[in-house]
Amino acid sequence: MNQQLRRAAYRTGMFFVSIALVAVLWELYKVVGPEKGGKLFGVAILPRSNDTAMPHIWEMLSRYAEPEMRSPNSKLIWFVVLKGAFYSFRLALVGFVIGSIIGVALAALMTRFKTMERGLLPYLVISQTVPLIALAPLVVSWGGKLEIFGFTWPRWLSASVLGAFLAFFPIAVGTLRGLKSAPAASLELMDSYAASWKQTLFKLRFPAAIPYMVPAFKLGASGAVIGVVVAEISTGLKGGIGRLIIEYARQATGDPAKVFTAVFGAAGLGLGMAGLVALADVLLMRNRPKETTT
């Protein structure tokens, strides 16, 4: 236990060290990089290092403590970003839950029926090659026409659906691998007990799948965040962090540090989602042999 704690502390430490390292590199480039950008072997590859393109780290951070706009009763930016991130977080969470249900159900189906796996899996792969930007307006217009039993499709649900669209794929594939990871001897044992397929699924296959499902759900969680942020941007949904990024980016010439506050907010949002899954991982794996919990 003590060793686990030490390892956790080490990992957290390395996380902050790596972030600090990126910040140092950023500032270092600002010192040595060309002010107007540069060409390498005739290709414009070196980014401009002036304060408009690359504001100082401390400017980005101090921007959080300043008001969002110049009007006298404007809120401080950290509050606006936090509020936007929380709004998007809720959408991403809904998307993640929808994606998880669909992903796990598809994996169970594909485990049950071999033909399902052969018939379905290629379509799942193809589905992920459709650009999200193209899909977003479609989902919004389909959703707008939907009305079932008095349930009208709220605009934010389209963003969640797009989050689910990115989340379900890694979850389905990872869970499928996990469900198939149950050792043949254990399956034979369940057979010898005349266990039903459902009993085998819940008492053997799913528990055996957990080590495969956790990383898949982590990917799914960050997928849900990306889906929601992109959907907010491309459908113009107000209130979320995606909208803030696009708004602040338009003001980048006058206020270059501002857009970074929202970008960091989106990154923090992704970390928050992944953190939720990591927490579930710790709870689910606490009684497992330590080799599998790396």
Partner 1 sequence: MSAVHVAGVSKIFNQGTPKQVDALVDVNLTVEPGEFVSLIGPSGCGKSTLLRLIANLLEPTTGAVTVNGKTAAQSRLDQDYGMAFQQAGLFDWRSVAKNIELPLELKGWDAEKRAARAKEMLELVKLPEFADLMPWQLSGGMQQRIAIARALAAHPPLLLMDEPFGALDEMTREYMQGELLRICAETKTTVVFVTHSIPEAVYLSNRVVVMSPRPGRITEVINVNLGESRSEDTRAADNFFAGITAVREALRGTHADHANAGAIRGVEDR
Site string for partner 1, 229-258 (x = CB under 8 A): ------------------------------
Interacting stretch for partner 1, rule CB under 8 A, among 6-14, 66-74, 203-211, 234-242? 203-211
Q: What are phi and psi of 269, to 5 degrees?
A: -60, -45
| DSSP result, 213-249 | HHHHHHHHHHHHHHHHHHHHHHHT-SSSHHHHHHHHH
Pick between residue 254 and residue 289 the one whose CB is nearest to partner 1: 289
Q: Measured from the CB of residue 194, what is the shortest distance to partner 1 in angstroms?
A: 5
Pick between residue 148 and residue 184 the one whose CB is nearest to partner 1: 184
Q: How far apart are CA 10 and CA 42, in angstroms?
A: 44
For position 1 contacting partner 1 by CB under 8 A, the verdict is no
Residue 283 class from Cβ within 10 Å (0-12 exposed, 13-18 middle, 19+ buried)?
exposed
Cβ proximity of 170 and 220 under 8 Å? yes
Pick between residue 39 and residue 288 the one whose CB is nearest to partner 1: 288
For position 197 contacting partner 1 by CB under 8 A, the verdict is no
Q: Quick one: which of 13, 47, 207, 275 contacts partner 1 (CB under 8 A)? A: 207
Q: Quick one: which of 188, 197, 238, 251 contacts partner 1 (CB under 8 A)? A: 188
Interacting stretch for partner 1, rule CB under 8 A, among 23-31, 55-63, 76-84, 183-191? 183-191
Pick between residue 2 and residue 129 the one whose CB is nearest to partner 1: 2
Site string for partner 1, 208-227 (x = CB under 8 A): x-x-----------------
Question: What 3-state class would DSSP assign to 76?
Answer: strand
Q: What are phi and psi of 181, to 5 degrees?
A: -85, -10
For position 191 contacting partner 1 by CB under 8 A, the verdict is yes
Give the CA distances from residue 149 to residues 146, 152, 154, 158, 269, in Å, rounded to whole numbers and listed in that order. 10, 8, 14, 18, 34
Kindly report the CA angle at 89 between 83 and 92, in degrees rounded to 5? 150
CA 227 to chain centroid, in Å, comes to: 8
Residue from 103, 241, 217 nearest 159 by CA: 241
For position 202 contacting partner 1 by CB under 8 A, the verdict is no
For position 204 contacting partner 1 by CB under 8 A, the verdict is yes
Beta strands in the chain (DSSP E): 38-40, 43-46, 147-148, 151-152
Q: Quick one: which of 1, 194, 253, 254 contacts partner 1 (CB under 8 A)? A: 194
Pick between residue 3 and residue 71 the one whose CB is nearest to partner 1: 3
Q: Measured from the CB of residue 293, what is the shortest distance to partner 1 in angstroms?
A: 11
Q: Measured from the CB of residue 217, what is the shortest distance to partner 1 in angstroms?
A: 17
Q: Quick one: which of 3, 73, 129, 192 contacts partner 1 (CB under 8 A)? A: 192
* Residues in 272-291 that interact with partner 1 by CB under 8 A: 287-289
Pair of tokens at residue 176: 């499928």
Q: How far apart are CA 233 and CA 84, in angstroms?
A: 13
Catalog residues that contact partner 1 under the rule CB under 8 A. Answer: 183, 185-186, 188-195, 199, 203-204, 207-208, 210, 287-289, 292
